[in-house]
Structure 1
Amino acid sequence: MESCYSQQRRFLISVFLLNVLIYWGGYWKVSGCLDSERKALTTIRKALNDPSNLLSSWDDASDCCNWRGITCHNITGFLLKLDLHTVYNHNYWADGGLLDPAFSLSGRIDPALIQLKHLQFLDLSWNAFNGAPIPDFLGGMKELRHLDLSWAGFSGSIPHQLGNLSKLISLKLSSSSLSAKNLRWLTTLPSLKYLDLTYVNLSMASHDWVHVMNMSPSLVELSLQDCGLSYISATLPSVNFTSLRVLDLSDNNFNSTIPNWIANISCLVSLDLSGNNFQGEVPYQFSQLPNLEELGLGSTDDNLRVDWSEFLEGSWRKLKKLDLSFSQLHGGIPDSIWNMTSLESLSLSFGENITGSIPRAITKLIKLESLSLYRYQMHTAIPDFLYELKNLKQLSLSHCMLTGPIPAARLGGLSSLEELDLSRNQLNGTIPRTLGQLSNLSLLDLSYNFLTGNVSESLFEKLKKLKILILVSNALVFDPHADWTPPFQLSGINLGSCHLGPRFPLWLRTQKYVEDLCLSNTTISGIIPTWFWDLTPQLLLLNLSNNQIFGQLPNPLKMHPQASIDLSLNHFNGPIPCILNGARVLDLSNNQFSGPIPPNFTSTMQHLDFFSAKGNQISGMIPSSIEGMNSLTVLDLSRNNIGGNIPLSLGNCIALEAVDLSNNRLSGEIPKSLGQLRQLRTMHLSNNSLSGKILLSLKKCASLETLDLGYNNFSGRIPTWISKSFPTLRILRLRSNMFTGNIPPQLLNLTSLQLLDVAQNCLSGLIPSSLENLVAMKNEQKINHVLSYGGAGSSYYKENLLVSVKGQMLEYTRTISLVTCIDLSRNNLSGEIPEELTGLLGLRVLNLSGNHLIGKILNKIGKLALLESLDFSENQLSGKIPLSMSNLTFLSYLNLSFNNLWGEIPSGNQLQTFQDPSIYMGNNGLCGPPLLDKCVGDETPPSPSGIETDEEENEMRWLYSGLTPGFAVGFWTLCGILVLNRSWRIVYYRFFDEMKDRLFSNCYRMLY
């Protein structure tokens, strides 16, 4: 009994001491972190690139628990948390999770990380690990509760070893560069509550993702946005999502009905199914979800239907956020929506079929804070009653066909408004002064309207919180006093097409945090003040294009590493500067830059996506160091004085989609290395002195849509492999070279070809009859696709081409996709015009002039009803002009001169508009207007032009039939004697030798 009492006493004493230890433990702390963990951190630090010294504190001798991003246990000193994420800024974000290399960590993750055995929290998000795979050894960190690798620049497959992290509560792997073949490893994470796989490619795991997720009953939030999922199970044996509160399946490829089991997830607070192709009825049970506050049903398909009357009978009047973006609500917004009085956010953006005015019933939504009606087709003025929504913070009425002025009377009543977007409408008048009363406004976008008048300084007196100002494409005048100091600090400024000049805006000097600056086409002239270049290192967008700015750029020029720079269409001169830290977009086109491209230019531009310096006076050669610009998608150096050869190293820029080196002084052959450009879609090398043949290595450029080699010295035959190697070729321009041989029939198997120009070569033979295979020319090109390639953001290469049309060279850019043209002129082609040509009903330009074509003009030429330009001149065509030619109602240029045509010129329709007689000259048998020769009776072809009557034709046939055998007998008699008799042969040759000597002797005397 006493023994039992002693045991109890010892137990109570132990409990007491333990409580004392726990109570006082908060005041006790192990001095410093563990040596083993400190060494591991030092090793990790050495493997990382830290350009902005984010980890500078890791180099001192202090306690590593005080280093940046480190959190240790208060008692044991164990390292529990390692947070090395880069502070997120949306302007830095780029595809693949690559952030600003000047601020983000890069390099590699050293395996020493697993020596942090007590680590529970690891965050490496928003860094730039440049496509490295997620390290497998992370699966050995068994104590991890939270792992965030989202947008860290990792790529490849997600390692299944992460399934060993059995204590994991939160896993975030968002990235467009990651993928997973299956998700079964998730079933070994029993504690997982938060899973974010946004943008991860799960297309290979699409068949079983639902069943895998259903085996994780602890899940609270699940985000699978834009994961390439295409299959979703219609039924589940049992729904185990008992804790799920947030489910995001938006922007996938589901093409089925919405499964009913989703409506059985009773804990759902937020559900987003938008951006899919769901069909049929939205399950009525959704309205019975007791906790639902946010619902996204926006769809890119118009087959999804909602019975709003039934839904309103349910309990979802508690909805706070409703997103029906992209929904095809035929006939307008259902009135029942206005009864959802709990709504705080409503988006009906991209509702292309939503028309009519906004109903006044919207004022019932008294709690509404965010309203987006982007592309709601109103065709009315902005209704006054919108100003009754006093709680509005965000209002977007962009692209709504709004007309009239901005209502001024009650605008100031929206005192809570933070974002106002009225862009891309038809608003006119001036900006009302009452807009200046919106003191909470941070974003103002009035771009692409018809607003006029002066923008007063007083408008901005109360707008102290304004961060983004966009007034581009209006007729506004904004010229404040030189000493004006704005009350705001802007991060985004776009005043393009407003009248700011001629002075450079001095008030910009006060703006310390500008990231986006667009002053394009603002009538600024003169030289940029030197203080402006102090702003550029922080600019992500600089657009000063289409002004009258002079002077030289600073050299070196300091820019943000991810900057887009557009200085085109000005008068900048001097050398191209070296740009420190590089840029993503650099457009220096149409200025007066001179000298060579500096040798060190390419060394700082490894991340450049777009480079255009066309229309300058650049000389020298293309530097061979261009191979270091391996992110380059557009290279445009056209219209300069660049000489030498195309460097072999250009083939190492494997991301190139557009190359334009036309109108320079390049020589030599096309290097074989260009065959490495597998992404190349358009290549312009015209107007140089290039020579040689079209190399077989170009066969590998299978994505080519435009090949322009015109005005060079290329020779040989046109390759027959072009049609198979370039299946998407739209434009083939080989004009003005020295190509020989026939036009390969295989060339006409290019079904996408809409422009074929092989004029001014030495081609011979017949025009292939396989013209009917040119499918793109068989029908009218009704939709104008602006052909653009590569680049980044709003900068891209716009396809352009000079086409011989209507007797002159015309440049096509934005409408090039509508041009259909065949130009075979100035060659040695013979034979007749093939009948199959009349099957190309979409043809607009046809030029066969300057050849040796015979026969008649096709009687069915009138079928080519879209022809605008037709040139058959300088051939040997005969017969009458077909009457069907008068059916060519779009024809505005015609040239039939210098042929053997005869008879009366047809009249009627479009032919009556051609009053220039020169288009028929050189045809002695033609008569009638506009020629002065009148037609009398039935004309017969005149003899002088080589056309005989029937009687003369019969006599000539008898003559030729007699001459032919006589010539043959005489010729072979003489040849036979010379072959068989040697002495006669010697005398014959001596006779011609003497005749030759006498001829040259007489010619010499005549000349001298």
Structure 2
Amino acid sequence: MTSLKVLSMPSGYNNGNLPNQGWCELKYIEELDFLDNNFVGTLPSCLGNLTSLRWLCLAGNYFSGNTTSHSIWRRFTSLEYLDIAYNQFDVPLSFRHFSNHTKLIYLDVGYNTIITDTEFQNWIPNFQLEFFAIEGCMNLQKLPSFLHYQYDLRILVIDGNQLQGNFPTWLLENNTRLAGIYSRDNAFDGPFKLPSSCHLHLEMIDVSNNKLNGRIPENMSLAFPKLTSLNLSQNYLEGPIPSKICGVHVFYLDLSHNFLSGGVPSDVAIGSPALGYLRLSHNKLKGQIFPKYVKQRMLSFLYLNGNNFEGPLPSNMFITSLFVLDANNNSFSGKIPRCIRDNTRLLQLDLSKNHLEGSIPVEICNLKRIQVLSLSENSLSGLIPSCMSSLSLQHIHLERNQLGGTLEHVLFNFSSLITLDLRNNNFRGNIPHTIGSLNTLNYLLLSTNQLEGQIPNQICMLNKLSIVDLSFNKLYGPLLPCLGYLTQAENDVEISSTKYATTSTYSWLNFLHWIRSKRHYHDSHGILSDISLMDVETQVQFSTKRNSYTYKGSILKYMSGIDLSSNRLTGEIPVELGNMSNLPALNLSHNHLIGRIPYTFSNLQEIESLDLSYNRLNGSIPVGLLELNSLAVFSVAYNNLSGAVPDFKAQFATFDKSSYEGNPFLCGYPLDNKCGMSPKLSNTSKINGDEESSELEDIKCFYIGLVVSYGAILLGLAAALCFNRHWKRAWFRMIESLMFYCNYFVLDNIVTPIKSRWYRNVG
């Protein structure tokens, strides 16, 4: 194929080396695309003969080698586009091997290793890049010197390098046509300084997760009049939010995780009619959110969580254009306003961790599109509106309130429910059989309520359940054997986030070849795409390893557990529970379970926390539990177990006597009872010490009590005889009778026989 001009093999999942033969004949080829394959090793030397090559994409492979030691890189003088990101190349910091590439406009070397070279440190390049990316590189301690001679950059990506010093404002000064600069995940400190002159083309700035301090510069909108996206989050910025921070084009503004104080300037809402995404989370903001007269029509995502806002929820916070409203972890009080019914576009509502009271308004049922509802950790009371079952909810978080009533109308007709968290409320009655209709449920959390009755069989119909927490209720009856088949199904639900799409356009992107590549920085920065995905993480709190943990994001997909502790469950533990080979946590403590520990528990290969304490289990501890290599917390304390404890090795070498206490017939290290001896004999020191002193104390207390009791009786009797004549006479008559019978008994049974024997002996 000597006339071939384009060879594209993106995402082919190939492996091994590129073939060494055949490349020399492709003299007319202009474009090579090996994006996201599994090629390894070095590049074939014949690639250097492709002098007509204008486009070369090797990103997302395992190619290696030093880019200066191979002559092919120097011979690619016709290159305009070069992407070698996500490989194992060694790239010299000077980039001198590209000195003759006069046509190069796109260069991406991200996620490789940068090596320091001393030759040609200050060389002047013959090219002017429009796109340069050097993100996530190992050993990068400073920016390449050749960037001082670049004046035509449009996109600069230096993310994830832990670069130190002041933010490189000189890049903005030199490149007046720069449209986007991305410098997140570095260690730049000091203030964020504006360029000396107005920058007419800059649209996107991302300096998040650095160490910038001081105040946000005033007149940000004047310095960057075309700005559409500004991300200053996760820094050390302080002071008030400048009133001129937003221009008329700003769509995305993220100032979260700083130390900003004061209120929200009115210009944030008024000055930017295009504002669609506003995140002010985790600052020290307070006061009013928006002026009362502001009618924000474009705002779709509003994050106010983790601030000091207080007072009643303002009605103008419930902007009718919102998709997401997150105001959790503030000090809002009062009732949830009924104007919430107007937010018919709302997909997520989070008002948790406030001081809200009253009932959940029935108007919430107007939110026909809502998927996430979180009102947890407030003081809400009353019933859950029954009409909520008609909503398209996926995640319900109402834990730590004062809600009550039964669950019949709650656990019904939720066809898409993934998370149901009603912990720490006052729900009562039985768990209804309608729970079997929640066939998409992944997380069922009903602990610390007043639920009673038996666990319904219908719970076993929920084959996607991965976390079940029914602890601290009044449930009774036997454990269901079918519970052993829960948590086994693959969790095919996307639980890490719920995605919401918004539309925005960037007219400045006219690079001809960029659009043809599938892996570009629009995936993470929103540079090339007209769709920006906003994620909302799902999080679940679950107690394991004697602590309560919050699981969220992708880690939640791999977490499962069953907690039925602190109920009134009876009967034996079904052997079927040993089928849960992927289960990390099982807690059956504080119940009335009897029988033996199932031998099938040795199949719980992923178990990290197993608590069977405070029951009435008997028999021995299965030796097969020694095979549980992931076990970190284990307790069978306060049962009726007997025999030897598992050998003190592997994971069981980390458990002390507290794991076995309260079982007097268990023996073996680390217990004091030695196997083969009675508990009393084996604990000689304890008997001679604590137990002996305890017996002496008991005897002493007995005699003291005896003396006090008899003394009290005698005193009471004497007092009665002194004050009552009839009792006194009766008492003396009783004494006389006793004396008569005693004398008669002694005379007849003791004295007379003795006298008879004496006379016989004398005679």
Instruction: Decide: shared fold, TM above 0.5.
Output: yes
| 3-state SS, counterpart of residue 500 of structure 1 | strand
Map 1:724-735 → 2, pairs under 5 A: 725-735=461-471
Q: Say which of 123, 128, 136 aligns to 1:399.
A: 136
Q: Establish whether residue 325 from structure 1 lines up as the match of residue 59 from structure 2.
A: yes
The 1:932/1:561 distance shift into structure 2, 3 A limit, reads farther
Any conservation in 2 of the 1:541–1:564 contact (CA below 8 Å)? yes
Q: Which residue of 1 aligns with 2:751?
A: none
Instruction: Give the whole-Å Cα distance in 1 for the aligned partners of 2:411 and 2:498.
Output: 17
Give the equivalent residue in structure 1 for 2:618. Answer: 854
Paired position in structure 2 for 1:584: 323
**Contact 1:274-1:324 within 8 A present in 2 as well:** no
CA contact (8 A) 1:296 1:322 kept: yes
Equivalent of 2:498 in 763, 778, 790:
790
Q: Which runs of 4+ in 1 moved over 6 A?
A: 268-271, 279-291, 304-307, 379-383
The answer for the alignment partner of 1:839 in structure 2 is: 603
Displacement of 1:623 in angstroms is: 3.4
Aligned to 1:622: 360
Question: For residues 91-135 of structure 1, what are the alpha-carbon distances to aligned partners after superposition, in whole Å with 9 as ceiling and x for unaligned?
Answer: xxxxxxxxxxxxxxxxxxxxxxxxxxxxxxxxxxxxxxxxxxxxx
Preserved contact between residue 180 and residue 205 of structure 2 (Cα < 8 Å) = yes
Given that 2:632 and 2:651 are in contact with CA atoms closer than 8 Å, whether structure 1 keeps it comes out as no
Deviations 1:549-591 (A, max 9, x none): 1123335764454622111100112215343332222211111
- Relative to structure 1, the CA distance from residue 330 to residue 886 in structure 2 (aligned partners, 3 Å threshold; closer, same or farther) is closer
Counterpart Cα distance in 2 of 1:575 and 1:905: 60
Change (3 A) 1:290 1:803: same
- 1:60-99 equivalences in 2 (<5 Å): none
Alignment of 1:284-683 (within 5 A): 293-299=30-36, 301-302=37-38, 308-313=44-49, 317-331=51-65, 335-351=71-87, 353-354=88-89, 357=92, 360-378=96-114, 384=121, 388=125, 390-406=127-143, 410-432=146-168, 434-435=170-171, 436-457=173-194, 459-461=195-197, 463-479=199-215, 486-489=222-225, 490-508=227-245, 511-535=247-271, 537-554=273-290, 558-561=295-298, 563-573=300-310, 574-578=312-316, 579-606=318-345, 608-654=346-392, 656-671=393-408, 675-683=412-420
Superimposed CA distance per residue, residues 634-683 of structure 1 (whole angstroms, 9 cap, x where no aligned partner): 222211222232233323333x3322121122222335575543333222
Distance 1:387 1:643 in 2: 71
Residue by residue over 1:585-626, the C-alpha shift from the partner in whole angstroms, topping out at 9 and shown as x without a partner, is: 2211111122332223132232x3322111112223333343
Distance in 2 separating the partners of 1:865 and 1:932: 35
What CA deviation, in whole Å up to 9, does each residue of 1:757-788 have, x standing for no partner?
xxxxxxxxxxxxxxxxxx99xxxxxxxx9962
Indicate how the Cα distance of structure 1 residues 933 and 504 shifts in structure 2: closer, same or farther if over 3 A, else same. Answer: same
| Letter paired with 1:403 | L
> How far apart, in 1, do the equivalents of 2:479 and 2:83 lie?
58
Higher relative contact order (CA 8 A, sep 6+): 2
**Distance in structure 2 (CA, Å) of the matches to 1:544 and 1:833:** 53
User: Alignment partner for residue 714 of structure 1, among 448, 451, 469?
Assistant: 451
Give the whole-Å Cα distance in 2 for the aligned partners of 1:638 and 1:751: 26
Q: Is the 8 A contact 1:877 1:899 kept in 2?
A: yes
Paired AA for residue 55 in structure 2: K
* Cα deviation 1:721-756 (Å, max 9, x = unaligned): 434x33332211111122222111111112538xxx
Q: Any residues of structure 2 matched to 1:47-126 within 5 Å, and which?
A: none
Partner of 1:933: 686
Answer whether contact 1:524 1:549 (CA < 8 A) is retained.
Answer: yes
Counterpart residue number, 1:749: 485
Q: Residue 188 of structure 1 corresponds to which residue in structure 2?
A: none
Equivalent pairs, count: 618
Residue 896 of structure 1 corresponds to which residue in structure 2? 660
Report if aligned partners of 2:243, 2:266 keep a CA contact under 8 Å in 1.
Answer: no
Q: Which shifted more, 286-295 or 321-330?
A: 286-295
Aligned 8 A contact 1:402 1:426 in 2: no
The answer to whether the Cα contact below 8 Å between 1:870 and 1:894 also exists between their aligned partners in 2 is no
C-alpha distance in 1, partners of 2:127/2:152?
A: 7
- Alpha-carbon distance between aligned partners in 2 of 1:636 and 1:451, rounded to the nearest angstrom: 36
Partners of 2:123 and 2:107 in 1: CA distance: 10
Give runs of aligned pairs for residues 29-40 of structure 1, distance below 5 A.
none
Deviation readout 1:119-160 (Å, 9 max, x if unpaired): xxxxxxxxxxxxxxxxxxxxxxxxxxxxxxxxxxxxxxxxxx
Partner SS for 2:456: coil
Tell me, yes or no, if the aligned pair for 1:406 and 1:432 is still in contact at 8 Å. no
SS in 1 for 2:63: coil
- Tell me the secondary structure at the aligned position of residue 663 of structure 1: coil
**Mapping of residues 953-972 of structure 1, within 5 Å:** none
Looking at structure 2, the residues matched to 631 and 305 of structure 1 have their Cα atoms a distance apart, in angstroms, of 51
1:799-814 matches, within 5 Å, as 799-806=539-546, 809-813=548-552
Decide whether the 8 Å contact of 2:435 with 2:459 is kept in 1.
Answer: no
CA RMSD of aligned residues (A): 3.9
The amino acid that maps onto 2:496 is S
Counterpart-to-counterpart distance in 2, 1:681 and 1:332: 50
Match of 1:187 in 2: none
Deviates more, 1:638-647 or 1:582-591: 638-647
Letter in 2 for 1:824: L
Q: CA deviation at 1:472?
A: 0.7
Corresponding residue SS for 1:740: strand
Write the distance in 1 (CA, Å) between the matches of 2:161 and 2:657. 40
Opposite residue 641 of structure 1, the aligned amino acid is S
Q: Tell me the TM-score normalized by structure 1.
A: 0.55
* 1:691 pairs with 2:455: no
Taking structure 1 as reference, are residues 593 and 800 closer, same or farther at Cα in structure 2, changes over 3 Å only? same
Is 1:883 the counterpart of 2:647? The answer is: yes
1:711 CA displacement = 1.4
Partner-residue secondary structure (3-state), 1:403: coil
Q: Does the CA contact (< 8 Å) of 1:636 and 1:660 recur in 2? A: yes
Percent of aligned pairs sharing the same letter = 24
Task: Call closer, same or farther: CA 1:355–1:616 in 2, change over 3 Å.
Answer: farther
TM-score between both structures, scaled by the size of structure 2? 0.72
SS at match of 2:626: helix
Where 1:651 maps in the other structure, the secondary structure is: helix
Partner of 2:529: none
In structure 2, give the amino acid aligned to 1:749: Y
